Structures are given as C-alpha cells and as structure tokens.
Amino acid sequence: MKLRCSLSLRQRLFAFSFSLATLCFLGFPALAQDKIVSKGQTQDVKILGVSGANVQIQVGTGTIGVPLAIITSVTKEAPAEVAEANKAFEAKDYAKALTFAKAVNGKFLGLPVDWARETASLVGDIYVAQGKLTEAEAAYKDFQRAYPRGGSIQVDVGMARIAFSRKNFDEALAKLEPIAEAAQKNPFETGPDAIAYSQAFFLLGQIAEARQQNAPALEYYLKTVTLFHRDANAARQAQERADSLRKQDPSLTIP
C-alpha cells in the first residue's frame, strides 16, 4: 500500500531550501547552471522542466518541485528546439516548427522566461499560418492559462490574428488599437509585452494593406522595424512587406 503525503507550501519551501543547502555542503556546485529567484533570494539550480504548478529541479539523483507561485524570475538558457522552431517557422515549414515548439511546450510551458513564453505563443501562430483557426484559439488560451500574470496582451494579439485571418478586420482592430496605444506610451518596453507590441504593429500593417491603405500600412511596418522590433519574426516580415510596398510604388511615403 502506498501512502501519500500532501505537503504545505511552507513545508515545500523548507524542503527546497534544505535540499539546496545539502547540495552546496556536499560540494556539487557543478550541477547548478540555472537560477531561480524567490522570496528575494537567488538560488543556483538545474531546472528539468515544469510539471503542474511546480518547476522541477534536480537535487542529487532526484527531483523536487518549486511552486511557480513563489518564483519571481528564472534564468535558463533556451534549449536548441527553440531556435529550430523559429528557424522552421521563418522557412514556412510549419509542420517541423510545430513539432519543435510542442516539444518545448511539453517540457517548459509555464516557465517564466521569455523564450518559453514566445514558444508557447508560437504554437498559436503556427496554427494560424496553417489555417487551423480552432486549434490556434485553443493554443492561445493554453498560453493564457500558463501565464496568467503576463499573457493577456499576447492572447489579444493572437485572437486579433485569428480575426484577421477570417477577414473580420474591425474585430481585429478593436483588440489591437488599445495595445498600439499602450505601446506608443512605452516604446522602450523590454519585458514580455514587447513581443506583443511588435506583433500588434505588424498585424496593423497587414490589416491596412489588406484594405489597400498602403501609406498607413508602410508606417506600421516601419514602426515594427525601427521601434517595436522585439519579435524577430515580426520585424523581418515587416521589413519584407515595407520593401514590397516601396517597390510597387517608389513614391509611397508615410502619412
């Protein structure tokens, strides 16, 4: 018969701190290569992934879970699959991009680092590119559940992207315009919202271009490239569209 023991948050915190202290005492600093900041303290750890509401870290030959609710920030190098997912997405190899992105999500969804957030939202972007809008909507909602403290703007951009794909331009604009207004007030944002700002301006350019409003479209694209370029894919595509518009009409200028 197996006995289950449900530990309180305080007990789990004590176990976490005790295990880290034990590692240091036994002389295993080489094990640590990541960092977790919680309760104002920084701990060197080895992060294995996310399971439920906990970040799993290695302790000796075992693991313990650190509640996401108490973590202020995390430092961890992105796994190789992140770059592969973005590379495949840029090449429009969406099946390959989805395989890599899902692999990252399966292990790290919910980890509070930029690359994990970006890959989580990339799954929805891939589905939109494939025309699988129902799956895209579900992916964006998964993103919001995983990042309740910082995912609402990204989800709004994702839902606007779905509306744009359905040619519901007014619906898309209703979601994007407040984001663009916030971005204009904080053009030097470098946190998670900076990704959403970048994608929002690129999408605004796409909407304007679809409505044959080429001058405003060019302005949105150039703002994506020069000011709101935190998302590399959005900035690259915005530059391509700006170049195309100027090639079509060399006299085109922003209003």
Q: What is the CATH number of the domain that holds 88?
A: 1.25.40.10
- Return the CATH number at 61: 2.30.30.100
User: What whole-number distance in Å separates Cα of residue 105 and Cα of residue 100?
Assistant: 9
Whether residue 253 lies inside any domain: the answer is: no
- Mean per-residue pLDDT of the chain: 87
Of 223, 224, 221, 225, nearest to 241 by C-alpha is 221
Q: Domains in the chain: how many in total?
A: 2
Whether residue 114 lies inside any domain: the answer is: yes
52: left (phi over 0), alpha (psi -120 to 50) or beta: left
4: pLDDT confidence band, cut at 50, 70 and 90?
very low
Whether residue 254 lies inside any domain: the answer is: no
Whether residue 2 lies inside any domain: the answer is: no
In this structure, what token pair is assigned to residue 141? 């909602």
Residue 187 has pLDDT above 90, yes or no: no
Whether residue 4 lies inside any domain: the answer is: no
Residue 231 has pLDDT above 80, yes or no: yes
Whether residue 1 lies inside any domain: the answer is: no
Tell me what the mean pLDDT of segment 80-88 comes to. Answer: 96
Predicted pLDDT of residue 87: 95
100 in the same domain as 58 = no
216 in the same domain as 113 = yes
Q: How far is CA 130 from the centre of its chain?
A: 19
59 in the same domain as 118 = no
- Containing 170, the helix (H) or strand (E) segment is helix 169-185
140 in the same domain as 241 = yes
| 194 vs 151: which has the higher pLDDT | 194
Last residue of a domain, one of 27, 47, 75: 75
Whether residue 214 lies inside any domain: the answer is: yes
6: pLDDT confidence band, cut at 50, 70 and 90?
very low
Strand intervals (E) in the chain? 34-38, 41-45, 47-51, 54-59, 62-67, 71-75
In this structure, what token pair is assigned to residue 42? 């920084």
User: What whole-number distance in Å separates Cα of residue 51 and Cα of residue 107?
Assistant: 8
Tell me what the mean pLDDT of segment 102-121 comes to. Answer: 94
pLDDT tens digits, one per residue of 10-49? 545 444 444 444 444 334 444 558 999 988 899 999 999 9
Range of the domain at 149: 80-248
229 in the same domain as 192 = yes
111 in the same domain as 86 = yes
87 in the same domain as 41 = no
179 in the same domain as 69 = no
Whether residue 204 lies inside any domain: the answer is: yes
Cα dihedral 79, 82, 88, 91 sign: negative
65 in the same domain as 111 = no
DSSP secondary structure letter of residue 113: S
Last residue of a domain, one of 36, 54, 75: 75
63 in the same domain as 85 = no
208 in the same domain as 90 = yes
Predicted pLDDT of residue 8: 52
**Residue 119 Cα distances to 58, 82, 113, angstroms:** 23, 7, 10
Predicted pLDDT of residue 61: 87
Last residue of a domain, one of 75, 103, 124: 75
Tell me what the mean pLDDT of segment 221-231 comes to. Answer: 94
113 in the same domain as 51 = no
Predicted pLDDT of residue 20: 47
